[in-house]
Copies of this chain bind each other. A is one copy, B any other.
Amino acid sequence: MSERLVVIGGDATGMSAASQARRLKGQEELEIVAFERGRFTSYSACGIPYWVGGDVDGPDGLIARSPEEHRKRGIDLRTGTEVTEIDTEGRRVRARSVDSGEEYWTSYDHLVIATGARPIRPQLPGIDAPGVHGVQTLGDGETLLASLRATAGLRAVVVGAGYIGVEMAEALIRKGYDVTMVNRAGQPMSTLDPDMGHLVGDAMTGMGITMVNDAAVTELLTGDDGRVRAVRTEAAEYPADVVVLGIGVRPETSLAGAAGLPLGPAGGLLTDLAMRVRGHEEIYAGGDCVEVLDIMSGSTRHIALGTHANKHGQIIGTNVGGGYATFPGVVGTAVSKVCDLEIGRTGLREKDAEAAGLQYVTVTIESTSRAGYYPGAATMTVKMLAERRTGRLLGTQIVGREGAGKRVDVAAVALTAGMTVERMTTLDLGYAPPFSPVWDPVLVAARKAVRAVAADHT
């Protein structure tokens, strides 16, 4: 007799899980039903800023696999269908057609919760006015593009200065907008230490972006037509023809929470290493709705990134399909760019290390992406945290131009392996003048970190 897998959410995790399970088990063994509230599946939300900026054709260009393609592969995909309740006792979910309102129960043997994240929308006056946009779904992208077409004005305010904020700033600059970023913190990119965030802020100011730091939005002002016309903070008012919210996201776990499933401190589902919801062998969860183990701190964190979502889906599908795979956790790697500025980070910031009870030394160096004499060699700044006494690498942050962002991958693998900065100094990294100075910038930082660890010892 065949089993049934039910998937809630038709994006990266859900459909990767469904596809991988289908690869391992045929239709006679496993029935797969997937519910998706919207009309798109398996799309790259991370591509929305580039679609808005005009670099990428959307929404079709951002869709890895359409509903029809999934159906052809033997997945009973039900778009426009929302799951409204999970009955863990009865092993069934209640689904509702968004259009018709029709409701029905579907039972499962295995359940995958892949409900993603929702953008944070602070309850401010004017937040729902036309011209104020989040950028989470392909629908959001369509709405924002329509809104940009609907106004002749070219003043954009981006609220929030995390990676979505900076990517949207680039998109709007490319479209010819004057961009103002309003940001609560003292500098953009709170995923970096403040000193490195300041470098990003300085570079963005150099690109002509007006950076407003230490500023909380209190109200969105609207014009006579009801459309947003300005962003107000306690100190000032910034005219805006369009406002983009890039304040961050929270795990979408209202359904899971209502079903009594375990949530962590950031509101995400808690799973074991096989991505099974803790205490529920038949329920899996992954992607933007879960918290992941941060290998460096030993705590769980919420990180909404497509690369994790895809890995989770793959692992869940393998396990549902009768194989075996686990997700050992993250070290916290992220890369982003704003125009020609590249930002990479992995591991712990100073405050993360402190929160984890780790003592550390930090060093910062400047180097170049290529041999200093080679054309296009661009300066980059590398900050490194190493543990006191042991010299174990704890984190690395890089801000620079071309070649800066992905260099952080070397540190990410070194973190995963638990390497000391001493061992890192002799890493056999690729060298040729067009690719790197004879000492790769990451190795230069490691050398300085070795000296800092030694000096701290004495």
Contact = CB atoms under 8 A, between A and B. Distances in A.
Interface string A425-441: 11111111111101110
B61 A307 contact: no
Contacts of A427: 412-413, 416
Nearest to A49: B433
B430 A408 contact: yes
Interface stretch (A218-226, A277-285, A332-340): A332-340
Copies per assembly: 2
A57 B428 CA distance: 28
A328 interface: yes
Interface in A48-72: 50, 55-57, 61-62
Contacts of A61: 373
Residue of A61, A311, A314, A447 with most partner-chain B CB within 10 A: A311
Given A335-B435, A438-B44, A311 B374 contact: no
A238 interface: no
A46 interface: yes
A330 interface: yes
Given A50-B433, A333-B429, A412-B429, A56 B373 contact: yes
B307 A431 contact: yes
B417 A430 contact: no
Contacts of A177: none
A47 B371 contact: yes
B426 A406 contact: no
Interface in A388-438: 403, 405-410, 412-414, 416-417, 419, 423, 425-436, 438
A305 interface: yes
A408 B327 CA distance: 23
A263 to B, nearest CB: 23
Contacts of A50: 373-374, 433-434
Interface in A337-368: 337, 342, 344, 346
A108 interface: no
A12 interface: yes
A429 B409 contact: yes
Contacts of A300: none
Nearest to A430: B335
22 contacts: A50-B373, A50-B374, A56-B375, A306-B438, A311-B425, A315-B426, A326-B426, A330-B428, A331-B428, A332-B428, A333-B428, A333-B430, A346-B430, A405-B430, A406-B406, A406-B430, A406-B435, A412-B428, A412-B429, A412-B430, A413-B427, A417-B417
Given A342-B435, A409-B430, A412-B430, 18 more contacts: A12-B438, A44-B371, A44-B438, A56-B373, A315-B426, A328-B426, A333-B430, A334-B432, A335-B431, A335-B436, A344-B430, A403-B406, A413-B413, A413-B414, A413-B417, A413-B419, A413-B427, A413-B429
Identify the 8 closest CB pairs spanning chains A and B, nearest first. A417-B417, A335-B430, A307-B431, A413-B413, A333-B428, A61-B373, A330-B428, A331-B428
